[in-house]
């Protein structure tokens, strides 16, 4: 019986074989969907870009080609956002006179700020110091983040001319935020900027986040000139250029942060 | 860092740190290996806080911290550009009172888990 096989039987057998093959291939596809790396594996390209990214504050004079800026902005376009709302738009400034105007305004604001809130301008124990300290402490209660000692030191350096707000970068990207964004649009601005910064890093460009760009918002004429219109506001800026030296020479060491780790009903503190 | 903890205990938690007082604003935590330093000046150029300078005879320049400067935020840009790995920030900046750093431990290089 075994060696007599009808056409019908053959077709059935083929169908069965096809079905089995399809099942196998489905299984294989599902298996390949999970690709765990071995513990201690080498860094991949994305990890490498993250680890070698530094905030670059000293740039070469050479302008970045326009297509590269378009390319990194394109990476920003594909950033995740709350409700896929994409509450951002951009202003790219490659005009030296415009950057100089922005810089000039920020320096003027910083000069004004140091005069009114920097108590370290006066010697300890002096009356002026006590008066300004009191004023600053009041302001600090309302805006604790703005009066952190690190930006305070930076404000002082900017006012002294030791430190340029936009780091004399050839290109400055302003990230504008739609105030009506879903949830917390500030977070989305952070995410879009991170995409831009990492893409730039992978292309050999240097970037730096410029939080002081917010100072520009207090000058309506300049804001209008830049092309910022409500409901958009200046949320952040990123300076882009070619870094001086080779900041990707080696990954740096950094502090570790607490991780509370819950697993199998146990709580652990890791660093 | 234990030294800093002792000093922190003496100020009220809402205290605004005085950022030119080394007892309250703890910045200087950069170590420079003078044997490795070749005086290439890159760290001096990239330092965002502008606290480094060169010293010594022209043929044997070395980097050092400026005497009165503070503001090192342990960004380690100096280490990143240094070809001879002669400079490194090994502790985070820290402040007394309200801005005291919390839930932070020592510096580590990227770990391959």
What's the pLDDT score for residue A190?
95
Q: Is B68 on the interface with A (CB under 8 A)?
A: no
Q: How far is it, in rounded angstroms, from Cα A216 to Cα A93?
A: 14
Q: How far is it, in rounded angstroms, from Cα B73 to Cα B48?
A: 9
What's the pLDDT score for residue A2?
54
Class of domain A48-241: alpha beta
Q: Is B66 on the interface with A (CB under 8 A)?
A: no
Q: Is B112 on the interface with A (CB under 8 A)?
A: yes
Structure confidence at residue B13 as a pLDDT band (50, 70, 90): low
Closest Cα in chain B, distance from residue A250 (Å): 5
Chain A, nearest residue to B18 by Cα:
A120
Say yes or no for a CB contact (<8 Å) between A246 and B17.
Answer: no
What's the pLDDT score for residue A199?
96
Q: How far is it, in rounded angstroms, from Cα A69 to Cα A92?
A: 9
Say yes or no for a CB contact (<8 Å) between B45 and A244.
Answer: yes
pLDDT (mean) for A84-112: 94
pLDDT tens digits, one per residue of A121-161: 888 788 888 888 888 888 888 887 777 888 888 888 888 88
Chain B, nearest residue to A44 by Cα:
B112
Say yes or no for a CB contact (<8 Å) between A247 and B73.
Answer: no
Say yes or no for a CB contact (<8 Å) between A245 and B108.
Answer: no
3-state secondary structure of B15: coil
Closest Cα in chain B, distance from residue A8 (Å): 57
Q: How far is it, in rounded angstroms, from Cα B96 to Cα B15?
A: 7
pLDDT tens digits, one per residue of B92-101: 888 887 888 8
* Cα A52 to the center of its chain, rounded Å: 14
What's the pLDDT score for residue A5?
61
Residue matched to tokens 């300004």:
A132
Residue matched to tokens 């004079």:
A61
Alpha carbon distance, N-terminus to C-terminus of chain A:
71
For chain B, domains (ranges, CATH) are: 24-96 (3.30.70.20)
pLDDT tens digits, one per residue of B66-107: 877 777 888 899 999 999 889 998 888 888 878 888 888 888
CA distances in angstroms from A253 to A124, B75, B104, listed in the order given: 36, 9, 14
Q: Is B23 on the interface with A (CB under 8 A)?
A: no
- How high does pLDDT run on average in chain A? 89
Residue B6 clears pLDDT 50, i.e. is over it: no
Closest Cα in chain A, distance from residue B2 (Å): 15
Domain assignments of chain A as residue spans, ordered by start: 48-241
What's the pLDDT score for residue A105?
94
Say yes or no for a CB contact (<8 Å) between B45 and A163.
Answer: no
Contacts of A144 in chain B (CB under 8 A): 98
DSSP letter assigned to residue B25: E
Q: Does this complex have an ipTM over 0.90?
A: no
pLDDT (mean) for B11-28: 74
What is A11-73 written as a DSSP string? HHHHHHHHHHHHHHHHHHHHHHH--PPPTTPPP-HHHHHHHH--B---B-SPPPPHHHHHHHH
- How high does pLDDT run on average in chain B? 82
Residue A1 clears pLDDT 70, i.e. is over it: no
Contacts of A153 in chain B (CB under 8 A): 19, 49, 70-71
Torsion, CA A134, CA A136, CA A140, CA A146, rounded to 10: -170
3-state secondary structure of B53: strand
Interacting residues of A13 by C-beta distance below 8 A, sequence separation 6+: A5
What's the pLDDT score for residue A122?
84
**Residue in A42, A57, A255 closest to B48 by CB:** A57
pLDDT (mean) for A72-85: 95
B64-91 burial, b if ≥16 CB within 10 A, otherwise e? bbeeebbbbbbbbbbbbbbeeebbbbeb
What's the pLDDT score for residue A99?
94
**Residue in B17, B20, B81 closest to A247 by CB:** B81
Under 8 Å between Cβ of A213 and A126: no
pLDDT (mean) for B39-61: 89
Say yes or no for a CB contact (<8 Å) between A254 and B98.
Answer: no
Structure tokens at A199: 């893409």
Q: How far is it, in rounded angstroms, from Cα A176 to Cα A172?
A: 13
pLDDT (mean) for A35-57: 91
Q: How far is it, in rounded angstroms, from Cα B50 to Cα A153?
A: 11
């Amino acid at each position: 019986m075994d060696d007599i096989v009808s056409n019908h039987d053959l077709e059935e057998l083929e169908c069965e074989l096809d079905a089995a093959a399809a099942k196998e291939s489905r299984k294989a596809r599902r298996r390949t969907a999970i690709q765990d790396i071995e513990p201690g594996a080498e860094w991949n390209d994305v990890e490498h870009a993250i680890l070698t990214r530094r905030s670059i504050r000293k740039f070469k004079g050479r302008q970045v080609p326009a297509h590269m800026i378009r390319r990194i902005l394109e990476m920003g376009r594909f950033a995740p956002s709350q409700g896929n709302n994409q509450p951002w738009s951009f202003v790219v400034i490659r005009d030296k006179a415009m950057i100089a105007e922005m810089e000039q305004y920020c320096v003027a604001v910083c000069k004004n700020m140091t005069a009114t809130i920097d108590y370290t301008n006066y010697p300890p124990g002096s009356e002026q110091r006590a008066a300004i300290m009191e004023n600053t402490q009041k302001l600090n209660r309302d805006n604790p983040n703005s009066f952190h000692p690190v930006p305070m030191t930076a404000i002082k350096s900017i006012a002294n001319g030791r430190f340029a707000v936009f780091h004399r970068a050839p290109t400055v990207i302003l990230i504008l935020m739609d105030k009506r964004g879903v949830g917390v649009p500030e977070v989305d601005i952070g995410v879009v900027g991170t995409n831009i910064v990492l893409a730039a890093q992978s292309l050999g460009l240097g970037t730096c986040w410029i939080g002081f760009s917010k100072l520009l918002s207090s000058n309506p004429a300049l804001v209008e000139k830049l092309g910022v219109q409500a409901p958009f506001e200046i949320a952040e800026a990123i300076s882009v250029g070619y870094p001086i030296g080779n900041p990707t020479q080696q990954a740096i060491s950094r502090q570790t942060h607490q991780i509370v780790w819950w697993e199998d009903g146990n709580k652990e503190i890791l660093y | 860092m234990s030294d800093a903890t002792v000093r922190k205990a003496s100020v009220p938690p809402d205290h605004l740190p005085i950022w030119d007082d080394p007892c309250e604003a703890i910045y200087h935590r950069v170590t420079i290996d003078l044997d490795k330093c070749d005086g290439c000046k890159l760290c001096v150029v990239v330092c965002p806080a502008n606290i480094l300078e060169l010293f010594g005879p022209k043929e044997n320049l070395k980097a050092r911290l400026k005497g009165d400067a503070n503001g090192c935020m342990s960004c380690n840009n100096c280490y990143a550009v240094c070809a001879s790995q002669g400079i490194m920030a090994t502790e985070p900046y820290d402040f007394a009172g309200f801005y005291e750093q919390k839930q932070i431990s020592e510096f580590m290089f990227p770990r391959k888990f």
